[in-house]
Amino acid sequence: MAYFIYDRKNSSQMQTKTSDKIVLITGCDSGFGSQLARRLDRHGFQVIAGVINTEGDGAKSLRADCSSRVKIVKMDVTKEEDVKSIVPIVEEMKGTLWAVVNNAGIGTSGFFDWGHDIDEFRRVFEVNVFGLVRVTKYMMPLLKRSPGSRLVNMASLAGRISSPYLSHYSMTKHAVRSFSDSIRRELAITGDNVHVVTIEPTYYQTAIIQTVNATQGIDRLWNETPLLTQKSYTDESRKRQTKQQLKTSKMTRTNINEVIDVMADAVRLMEPKVYYRCCGYLDVILWAVSHAPEIILDRAIALSHRNN
């Protein structure tokens, strides 16, 4: 009850002065990043929207919908030169860097030993972990100039409950949580007034989920798998995975404003939370499940998949 009261009080502490504040958002081609850029533009922030393709449909849509306060830039977080190029852009703008939202991410699905060597793990880590760390390293000196600024990292429920077929993605989101916790404590030691916020959505209908559930991606991984490994899997185990992906797609939440609302709070509130979890009405249940003993989780997950 005490936390509930604190939470309600905290929600009213809005940051109102926005015109001199710059927000950098990665992964704005679609999904959460694209919608957050629109939301923060309406609130009056200066937004730097990082996209992979500045002439793609996502970038064109942002230009059509947003004001001149939104600056669309090419930003592939796996490329050092792209990330470094943002620093002079920020320094030339009027205002200070108030928030960095590390939203860029990719997903994949398949048994852990599918694919060639560790290529799939490396591919997902390059964006979800190393890209996030790269952006944070280059932007942190700018954030430190603005007391009360914040770093917002997108994790996932998959970073708390590791699911079958999602080892690549779950590992990266566990890493995001660990990284966020570590640098938050480092900043407390150095006395730098930068809030570190971690957001953990459950499965929402975005481009990442569509990629994870796409049979083409699963087929690609299977085709890249060595013959010896392929022989260790039965047709039934492959069919079971496909069924589970279809089941997951039906469970995904469609109202992504549930996530955009908390992302906006993480940027706007004077004292944002350390963690935000976006699960809708499942919030309490999933939070409890994530703290269940591993032996119970293992058995429950195994049973649910065998009954598909």
Nearest-angstrom CA–CA distance, 126 and 121: 9
Task: Quickly count: other Cβ atoms within 10 Å of residue 305's Cβ.
Answer: 17
In the predicted structure, residue 247 carries a pLDDT above the cut 70 = no
Q: Is 6 a residue of the active site? A: no
Nearest to 171 by CA among 182, 181, 160, 185: 160
Lowest mean pLDDT among 8-17, 100-109, 115-124: 8-17
Residue 290 has a pLDDT of: 73
Q: Is 23 exposed, middle or buried (0-12, 13-18, 19+ CB in 10 A)?
A: buried
At 215 the pLDDT is: 66
pLDDT at residue 213 tops 60:
no
* Long-range contacts (CB closer than 8 Å, 24 or more residues apart) made by 38-41: 38/62, 38/65, 38/66, 39/260, 39/263, 39/264, 40/264, 40/267, 41/66, 41/67, 41/69, 41/70
Q: Residue 251: its pLDDT value, please?
A: 64
Residue range 151-166: mean pLDDT, rounded: 90
Residue 45 has pLDDT above 70, yes or no: yes
* 148-155 average pLDDT score: 97
Span 115-130, pLDDT tens digits: 999 999 999 999 999 9
| 3-class secondary-structure state, position 153 | strand
User: By C-alpha distance, which of 107, 192, 115, 201 is closest to 150?
Assistant: 192
The helix/strand count (H/E) of the chain reads as 15, 7
**Active-site choice (165, 169, 203, 276):** 169
Q: Determine how many CB atoms are found less than 10 A away from the CB of residue 259.
A: 24
Tokens of 77: 């977080």
- DSSP secondary-structure letter at 269? B
pLDDT of residue 283: 59
Number of other CB atoms surrounding residue 103 within 10 Å: 25
Check whether 240 has a pLDDT greater than 80: no
Mean pLDDT of 76-88: 98
Q: How confident is the model at residue 280 (pLDDT cuts 50, 70, 90)?
A: low
**At 18, is the pLDDT very low, low, confident or very high (cuts 50, 70, 90)?**
confident
Q: What's the pLDDT band for 3 if we cut at 50, 70, 90?
A: low
Mean pLDDT value of segment 37-45: 96
Q: Does residue 172 contact residue 129 with C-beta atoms inside 8 Å? A: yes
Residue showing tokens 């947003």: 66
For the chain, what percent of residues have pLDDT higher than 90? 63
Amino acid at 72: I
Which pLDDT tens digit goes with each residue over 253-278? Answer: 778 899 999 999 999 999 999 999 88
Q: What is the CATH architecture of 10-280+293-306?
A: 3-Layer(aba) Sandwich (3.40)
- The predicted pLDDT at position 210 comes to 59
Lowest mean pLDDT segment, chosen from 17-21, 49-53, 160-164:
17-21
What was the pLDDT predicted at 204? 74
113: exposed, middle or buried (C-beta count within 10 Å: 0-12, 13-18, 19+)?
Answer: middle
Please say whether the beta carbons of 125 and 172 come within 8 A: yes
User: In the predicted model, is pLDDT for residue 207 greater than 70?
Assistant: no
Q: Is the pLDDT of residue 54 over 90?
A: yes
Mean pLDDT (whole number) for 176-200: 97
* pTM for the full predicted model: 0.88
Q: Is pLDDT at 214 greater than 70 in this prediction?
A: no
